[in-house]
Amino acid sequence: MKTAVIQFPGSNCDADALHAARLLLDDGAQFVWHTETALPEGTELVFLPGGFSYGDHLRSGAIAARSPIMNAVKAHAEAGGYVLGVCNGFQVLTEAGLLPGALSRNKELHFMCKPVHLRVENNATDFSRAYGPGQIIEIPIAHGEGNYYADAATIAELEEGGRVVFRYADNPNGSLNDIAGIVNERGNVLGMMPHPERAVELLLGSEDGKGVFESLKTVKK
Amino acid sequence: MTSQSLRDQAATFGLTTEEYDLFVSQLGREPNALEAAIVGAMWSEHCGYKNSRPLFRAFPTTGPQVLQGPGENAGVVDIGDGWGVAFKMESHNHPSAVEPVQGAATGVGGILRDIFAMGARPFAVLDSLRFGNPDSPRTRFLVNGVVDGIAHYGNAIGVPTVGGEVTFHPSYQENPLVNVMALGLLRHEDLATGTMGEVGNQIVYVGSKTGRDGLGGAVFSSADLSAASQADRPAVQVGDPFMEKLLLEATLEAIQAGLVAGVQDMGAAGLVSSTCEMAYRASLGITMDLDKVPTREEGMVPMELCLSESQERMILVPVPGKEQALHDLLAKWELDVVTIGEVEAHDRYRLTWKGEVVCDLPVALLNEAPKYTREGVESADIRAARERDLSGVPLPGDLGAVLLELLSHPTIASKRPIFERYDHQVMTNTVVVPGAADAAVLRVKGSPMGVAATSDCNPRFVQLDPYAGAAAAVAEAARNLACVGATPLAITDNLNFGNPHRPEVYYQLQQAVQGIADACRALNTPVTGGNVSLYNQYTEGDHKVAIHPTPTIGMVGVLPDVTVRASLNLKAAGQTLLLLGHRAEKGWSDSIGASQYLETVHGLEAGQVPPVDLDLAQKVVDGTLALIRAGLTDTAHDCAEGGLAVALAEMAIAGGLGLNVSLDAPASVRADALLFGEAHSRVIVAVEDAAAAGAKLDELGLPYAVLGETVEAPKVTIAAPAQHVHLSVNLESLKTAWEEPLKGILG
């Protein structure tokens, strides 16, 4: 699956995203600098990596969501192309209006880096097919602002539509309904706070994140 | 200002009157005020090492593994296959004492610039932190601030914080220590240096604009702390990790594209020290136009432009002919880029401002600060404490309770509440997370190798016996690396001491340097660089509180195969526990001297520091590595603070398994010395095949003892028949004692 990893100034999981994408999806995966206005020809997956884009100035992800490349990313999503936003990438997706809700400060008010357990709530999406229904997986989190919030109507819509893909088994940050990752209505845009790209090699402790990439790989074109 | 009043004010520039006179006589004229301030900064301890450098001649600095020794932004070791590791440790003690968040944050930022200035991509940070009384509000304020600062900077820039130390002792109450070590990875061909290169080269300023922050920081950090230091808060800089991330990427891209002839971070004493040191290394002169320096505010004067320590600024010297290419590349990263001067065929450090020459000094004179060799005298109080007879110290009735008390001492207790606030996994190289083993381990992508790093020092040992204590720190670092399966390669040191003008402090510095030198020679770990932080002394009227002397050792090692390694957690029941380094007749720790136990339980810092046998230290490193690499063990842990009993308990807690050991020490050994004494050169391993492990150790001539075995039952049982000890504590109590204390200190 031809993959483009977007680099904003301040992205810091960009190289990790590229590494995982090359390992599991596309050995020709490449970076795209935020000032570009078009994605590389034939891009199938846009990966918005973690980090502190624009130094988290204003709000996490707010400035990145308005950078030139994001018009191309929105067009890609509207055309049914896949978009995966992890951590700061998830924040960018909510700021860009590609996913509903917002991510506010963790309830403990500080940054947290640790492995957490997630339950795969919906394994029928193109991002989660490789997992079993209700499977418990271990993937690390590393964020200060991962507390998912949306109004009651939106939460109900997400729940009823099966759009909550991953849920924390033991909520670390105060997210409503223990939400760790959601998809858009069409199912081609996933945002999640935990870092699947950090859990794709046993050497680093867990390969439970591989399923996200393997799911995408098996999508029928 | 007249020259007479300049002389009177020499102290405000950080010079003694004698130093001022020496400068004038060598210069052959009176300086102007700017020149006096520049020489004051360059001759500060921080930049000029005037009290410490003469001692450094004792250090071994060469070896086949050393690609870059002392004198550059960072040292570099060869790890094989064309890879090198740049590493260095630096202190940010004084800034952290007055403004902990920014003090610690800019400590991280500064050391990272030293690493990428070598052409290496920073890939790990370790912090060695020392605080005062854990119960005091000031300590809570400092701990929370420092941890926030490290997290703020390290997490944002995306370099994992993978290890370090956090300890508590009243001597650091007013003057905490924040020592930050960073490692970077490079291909040999990308190694860069801080030189001006050749005549005609341009001098390019890149990064943040220059502001009025951090003015006089080098001088500030080279004086005692006092209540008045709070007024020096403007001497603390403010960091911007976002800017540094851009600077990092841009600098590395420029070096790798072959556009850079020389590069250096603007650190202490800012623009002046960076350009002056680069000129000195090239043995050439330079002229710079201060009007070209990008400024954050209007009306800045030469003194401010020269000595500001605004963060995130670098000096780059383009390869001749590549000037435009370099400018274009830096502009892509949205950085300020200005050519501010040129390298010339003379020996002067010349600065112009508004068309006038405002500084014209010999480069060599600025870089060759006077060196002092002082008379060191041991403090009589410390000698008395060391020689104190400890035979009257009462033996506690309940040794199980002592074990719990030691595990819950904040120095020993779990640091999880701290390291969970640091992103320790970004860059996806962290193979061993903080707390899981005696050293951090990172993989090298595209290679089978791993890199291990640790920082170590037991300041109580150094206080009581600076020579033995410093040697012990080097030996402990080597053991910690061996316990993860890494061959020790080299060290960087961060020498934190009190005021060297006091003979008893100078004595400590002298002895500690010799101890480090001898241990590094014996263990084949040369010194590739370091940092000196003196004047760690808090003055209140006539009352002077110096910190415990703390020569922090940062050591780096290599694992030929990162999958062949060990960690400290017990992994299976039914394995045999061996104690390596045990010498038949005197193998058991037979002294409580200088131990954490003696301090915590009896309130005494006294007794002889256990002697360091460097030959045995090397054998224990070799033996531990041999067992790991032969596949005979994947579980190893060094015995340090709290002795054998604490080490065993830590292994059980981490593994969630019990153990059952019996110590057959002779009756002449005290029970507390046996359990909690801190004899060196001891490593505990758990092995499946005790006979094969024994044969291997015999072959190497390394003495060892069989302690007992690991068990399923969640209980730590330690017996010592001759001492009538039978201690049995359940794992849950040990775990609670160890896990809870730091949670209460962090807000």
With beta carbons under 8 A apart, name residues in chain A contacting B241: 52, 55
Question: Are residues A111 and B158, on separate chains, in Cβ contact within 8 Å?
Answer: no
Per the CB < 8 A criterion, the answer to whether B666 and B602 are in contact is: no
For residue B531, say whether it is annotated as part of any ligand binding site.
Answer: yes
Please tell me if residue A10 touches chain B, with a CB cutoff of 8 Å: yes
Residue of B nearest to A35 (CA): B332
Interface probe, candidates B414, B422, B423, B743, chain A, greatest A C-beta count within 10 A: B423
Residue B1: the pLDDT is 52
Residue A197 annotated among the catalytic residues of the structure: yes
Mutate to test the interface with A, among B240, B245, B425, B445 (most CBs of A within 10 A): B425
Give yes or no for a contact between A51 and A91, defined as CB atoms under 8 angstroms apart. Answer: no
**Are the beta carbons of B421 and A112 separated by less than 8 Å?**
yes
- CA B503 from centroid of its chain's CA atoms: 25
Angle subtended by helix axes B33-42 and B270-282, to nearest 10: 70
Is B496 known to sit in a ligand binding site? no
Q: Please tell me the least confidently modeled range out of A56-60, B125-129, B596-600.
A: A56-60
Chain A residues closer than 8 Å to B240 by CB: 55
Q: How many CB atoms sit inside 10 A of residue B299's CB?
A: 6
Name the residue facing B425 among A52, A54, A142 (closest C-beta): A142
CA distance B419 to chain A (A): 8
Contacting residues of A for B208, CB less than 8 Å apart: none
Task: Give the separation between CA B637 and CA B734, rounded to whole angstroms.
Answer: 17
Q: Does residue A2 carry a pLDDT above 80?
A: yes
User: Could B245 and A12 be called an inter-chain contact, meaning their C-beta atoms sit closer than 8 Å?
Assistant: yes
The amino acid that residue B550 corresponds to is T
Write down the pLDDT at residue A59.
82
* CB-count burial class (<10 Å; 0-12, 13-18, 19+) for B323: middle
Nearest Cα of chain A lies from the Cα of B151 at a distance, in angstroms, of 8
Interface contact A9, partner B, CB < 8 A: yes
CA-nearest residue of chain B to A20? Answer: B428
Average pLDDT for residues A93-120, to the nearest whole number?
96
Chain A residues whose CB is inside 8 A of the B422 CB are: 111, 113
Any CB–CB contact under 8 A between A8 and chain B? no
Which site among B330, B426, B445, B451 would you substitute to test the A interface, given the most A Cβ atoms closer than 10 Å to its Cβ? B426
Dump pLDDT digits (tens) for B384-394.
999 999 999 99
pTM given for the model? 0.95
pLDDT of B236 above 70: no
B152 is catalytic: no
Rounded to whole angstroms, the Cα distance separating A114 from B425 reads: 9
Task: Judge whether A28 is closer than 8 Å to chain B, CB to CB.
Answer: no
Contact A144 B246 (CB under 8 A): no
* Whole-number pLDDT of residue B47: 82
Map tokens 């977007």 to a residue. Answer: A6
* Domain edges within chain A: 3-218
Find out whether B114 is annotated in a ligand binding site. Answer: yes
A8–chain B nearest CA distance, Å: 10
**A87 is an active site residue:** yes
- Is the model's pLDDT at B132 over the cut of 80? yes
Q: Is B443 on the interface with A (CB under 8 A)?
A: yes
B49 is in an annotated binding site: yes
* pLDDT tens digits for range B422-456: 999 999 999 999 999 999 999 999 999 999 999 99
* Mean predicted confidence (pLDDT) in B247-267: 94
Residue B219 has pLDDT above 90, yes or no: no
Give the pLDDT band of residue B588 (cuts 50, 70, 90): confident
Which range is least confidently modeled, A169-173, B574-578, B610-614?
B610-614
Which residues lie across from B359 on neighbouring strands? B351
- Percent of chain B topping pLDDT 70: 96
Q: A51 to chain B: nearest residue by CA?
A: B156
Residue B230, pLDDT > 80, answer: no
Q: What is the mean pLDDT of residues B715-721?
A: 97
How far apart are alpha carbons B595 and B606 in whole angstroms?
8
Residue whose entry in the numeric block shows the structure tokens 């136009």: B289
Instruction: Give the model confidence (pLDDT) of B327-355 as tens digits.
Output: 999 988 888 899 999 999 999 999 999 99
**At residue A157, does pLDDT exceed 90?**
yes
Verify whether the Cβ–Cβ distance A52 to B156 is below 8 Å: yes
> Which residues on chain B are in Cβ contact (under 8 Å) with A210?
none
* DSSP assignment letter at B465: -
Whether B584 shows a pLDDT value over 60: the answer reads no
Separation of alpha carbons A11 and A102, rounded Å: 19
ipTM: 0.95
- Is A10 close to B155, i.e. CB distance below 8 A? no
Contact B742, B417 (CB under 8 A): yes
Which of A9, A19, A54 faces B428 most closely, judged by CB atoms? A19
Q: What is the pLDDT of residues A182-200, one digit of tens each?
A: 999 999 999 999 999 999 9
Is pLDDT of B217 > 80? no
- B156 touching A (Cβ < 8 Å): yes
Between CA B85 and CA B191 the distance in angstroms is 10
Chain centroid, CA B459 distance in Å: 13
Q: Hey, are the CB atoms on A51 and B240 less than 8 Å from each other?
A: no
Task: For chain A, give the percent of residues with pLDDT over 70.
Answer: 99
B428 close contact with A: CB closer than 8 A: yes
| DSSP-based three-state secondary structure for A164 | strand
pLDDT in tens, B50-99: 888 889 999 999 999 999 999 889 999 999 999 999 999 999 999 899 99
Query: Would you state the pLDDT for residue B624?
Result: 98
pLDDT of residue B332: 85
**What was the pLDDT predicted at B5?**
81
For the segment B169-174, the average pLDDT, to the nearest whole number, is: 94
Token digits of residue B287: 């002229």
Of residues B535 and B731, more confidence is placed in B731
Cβ contacts (< 8 Å) between A204 and chain B: which residues? 425, 428-431, 443
- pLDDT for res B8: 84
Residues B643 and B663: their CA atoms lie apart, in Å, by 13
Chain A partners within 8 Å of B427 (Cβ): 15-16
Q: Is B660 annotated as a binding residue?
A: no
Give yes or no for B420 touching A (CB within 8 A): yes
Q: Over chain B, what is the mean pLDDT?
A: 93
Say if the Cβ atoms of A113 and B425 lie within 8 Å: yes
For chain B, say whether A54 makes contact (Cβ under 8 Å).
yes
Chain B residues in contact with A197 (beta carbon < 8 A): 428
pLDDT of residue B237: 65
What chain B holds in terms of domains, given with CATH numbers, is 9-43 (no CATH), 566-746 (3.90.650.10)
CA distance A89 to A197: 12
B157 touches chain A (CB under 8 A): yes
Structure tokens that stand for B606 in this block? 């006294």
Share of chain B above pLDDT 90, in %: 82
B265 is in an annotated binding site: yes
| pLDDT at B590 (0 to 100) | 84
- Which CATH topology does A3-218 take? Rossmann fold (3.40.50)
DSSP 8-state code for residue A202: G
